[in-house]
Amino acid sequence: MRKLNMIGWLAVLVVAIVLVIQVIPVERNVSTVPPGQSFEKTEKVPANVAAILKVSCYDCHSNNTRYPWYSELQPGAWFMARHIKKGKEELNLDEFNDYSKRRKKAKIKSIISQIEKEEMPLKSYLLLHPDAGLTPNKKKVLLQFFQSELEL
């Protein structure tokens, strides 16, 4: 039997680490919102706006994430969990109804700004979810809706 050289041992070590980290669980973002309390219901969101939000925003900004196959693999699952946690800390559409009127307005202004500056959805998210991209028409629909919400 041949002796493993340094690169061989390093490869074995890397494979072993990758296999071991697969058993470390990651908390899932699963909805805890009572029926009827979702953003679409409480804010009377039109169906076309709700459809865009569901595909482009809800995975990181709600209490219910659609988990693709790669979310089962580490370290990708950790990366995804961190993004979801940070996204929900910034804005959680499932808890929007609990925000004060002032906070709601601030969040809506931030949403408008980030859509206009093309800061959301994140580029890293779009790499794996190209359907979440905002076309000029989708941007227009969202901006019109959120601007109308500011006027209420």
Contacts 24+ apart (CB under 8 A), 72-79: 73/22, 74/18, 74/21, 74/22, 74/24, 74/26, 75/21, 77/26, 78/26
Give me the residue spans of the domains in the chain. 6-150
How does pLDDT run across 61-107, given as a tens digit for each residue? Answer: 988 888 777 777 777 777 788 888 999 999 999 889 889 999 999 99
pLDDT top residue among 35 and 148: 148
How does pLDDT run across 117-138, given as a tens digit for each residue? Answer: 999 999 988 888 899 999 999 9
| Three-class DSSP labels, 56-117 | HCHHHHCCCCCCCHHHHCCCHHHHHHHHHHHHHHHCCHHHHHHCCHHHHHHHHHHHHHHHHC
pLDDT band for 1, please (50, 70, 90 cuts).
very low
Structure confidence at residue 65 (pLDDT): 84
Structure confidence at residue 21 (pLDDT): 66
For the entire predicted model, the pTM comes to 0.76
How does pLDDT run across 10-49, given as a tens digit for each residue? Answer: 887 787 776 676 666 777 777 765 655 678 878 889 999 9
- 8 A C-beta contact, residue 33 and residue 85: no
